Copies of this chain bind each other. A is one copy, B any other.
Amino acid sequence: MSNVRTNISISLDGYVAGPNQTQEDPLGEGGERLHDWLTRLRVWREASGMEGGEENVSSAIVAEGNANVGAEIMGRGKFGPAARGPWGDDPWRGWWGEDPPFHKPVFVLTHHEREPLILADTTFTFVTDGIESALEQARKAAGDQDVFIGGGADVINQYLAAGLVEELELHVAPILLGGGARLFDGVGPDLRLEELRAIEAPGVAHLRYRVVN
């Protein structure tokens, strides 16, 4: 069965990026610390073309999170720096160089039309007619596999508020950011969740929930 799911690293005070995100500092002030638990792992370093790294309880959780994902939806703010408006003549090609780590169709939510961008085995399709259209396209591309809502906070919040996410995993980092992009902003009290599991791992707690409809 195809699921719509998301997982994201979050600070104890509820932020998935720090304040003042810029092109030089895409996760905002202190935001890199959200991923300290992840970037030390071999499974992450390998996917990023780096050697070394450790194996721990989180390794299996990361592998699980990546498995069976057939398409990803992200906001323009995850695809590129905070600058908005038309894409221009020399448009941004993503943060990830010529061989992005997705290896699957990616749908980028934006208010500005743009032709698809193909980089190695990742195709970025730019969707201007809203989150439901993006989900429909992603479901079609994913086939029997899951659709992953890749962030940022705004996009995840929109999908959660619309009741379109089925599974949510939070990687709770033992840090405070004091400001930034807040997960669950505007999602409201009506979203019903069921706790599926809580797993302790070095420098992080993995909390998984199912959305109850």
Contact = CB atoms under 8 A, between A and B. Distances in A.
Interface of A: 12-14, 18, 29-30, 170, 172, 174-179, 183-184, 187-191, 193-195, 197-201, 203-207, 209
A80 to B, nearest CB: 25
A13, A183, A191, A197 — which one has the most chain B CB atoms within 10 A of its CB? Answer: A13
Nearest to A175: B193
Q: How many copies does the complex hold?
A: 2
Given A197-B200, A199-B198, A203-B195, A13 B178 contact: no
B193 A188 contact: no
30 contacts: A12-B170, A12-B193, A12-B209, A13-B183, A13-B184, A13-B187, A14-B14, A14-B184, A18-B189, A29-B189, A30-B189, A172-B207, A174-B193, A174-B194, A175-B193, A176-B184, A176-B187, A176-B188, A176-B190, A176-B193, A177-B189, A178-B188, A179-B189, A195-B204, A195-B205, A198-B198, A198-B199, A198-B200, A198-B205, A198-B206
